[in-house]
Amino acid sequence: MFRLIQLELKKYRLAGIIRGAFIANLCIFVLIALVSITSIGAEIPEFTGFEGLFEIIDVMVRATFIIFAGVLLSKLIIDEFKSQSITVLFMYPINRKKLIIAKLLIVITFTFTAIILSAIFLTCAIYLLDQFIDIIPGTLTLELVLKQGTSFVTGGLAASFMSLIPLYFGLRKQSTVSTLVASIIIVLLVCSNNGGFSLNAIIIVPIILACIGVLIAYLSIRNIEHVDLLSKSES
């Protein structure tokens, strides 16, 4: 399995995705910094404390990398089914299920790692900026860091698995557009904030969506050994 993951990484060279993730983090940092700085002296500051800052970082990071996961799914899986190049891979003496699992593990691992590293980077960057410009009221305590760190990890895990949901729509339509649209819809459903209310705040919602993502991954892998036979019978 590890060997298959290595081969997939060499094949696609995800340097562009990693570069895009870094640029996305810089954009999020600049946006948060500008909003914080411009709200200095306002009667109602944009962030009333580090807890509010963590919430916006959490939402923006998860939203960003759920969409990035959709791009990866399109690149690693959907495009290969669309171009039929996956059938060439299936002709090699490689277990098909392991091949698809390796691709999905790349997506899950990238999404989770990117969410955690981005949360750490943005927290540290804003904290350092706060040392020079007092933009966040209050102080950052170890208790809050540990509490939010746990939240980042659990939220990152849930987002990593729910990001597999667009796979269903992408494979059904064999369309990268459908995959990306599904990713955006998930972001709008889970990460939107209406008057302080967010579906993500209801803990059961991300858990259910994560389970749906796992189920979709399982259903995508289950009959992969006979996918060419099924397509022939349908034709």
Q: Residue 51 has what pLDDT?
A: 83
Q: Residue 235 has what pLDDT?
A: 42
Q: What percentage of the chain exceeds 70 in pLDDT?
A: 82
Is the confidence at residue 46, as pLDDT, over 80? no
Provide the number of structural domains found in the chain.
Answer: 1
Q: Residue 233 has what pLDDT?
A: 40
Q: Is 74 exposed, middle or buried (0-12, 13-18, 19+ CB in 10 A)?
A: buried
Q: Residue 180 has what pLDDT?
A: 92
Is the confidence at residue 163, as pLDDT, over 70? yes
Helix (H, G, I), strand (E, B) or coil at 197: strand
Domain that holds residue 107: 2-234
Is the confidence at residue 229, as pLDDT, over 60? no
The Cα 55–Cα 35 span in angstroms is 15
Is the confidence at residue 109, as pLDDT, over 90? yes
Choose the weakest-confidence range: 68-72, 83-87, 144-148.
83-87
Average pLDDT, the chain: 82
Rounded mean pLDDT, 4-14 = 73
Choose the weakest-confidence range: 62-71, 101-110, 127-136, 223-232.
223-232
Sign of CA dihedral 76, 77, 82, 83: positive
Name the range with the highest mean pLDDT among 45-54, 118-127, 201-210: 118-127
Tokens, residue 126: 């804003």
The Cα 22–Cα 118 span in angstroms is 8
Helix (H, G, I), strand (E, B) or coil at 44: coil
Is the confidence at residue 114, as pLDDT, over 60? yes
pLDDT band of residue 234 (cuts 50, 70, 90) is: very low
pTM over 0.75: yes
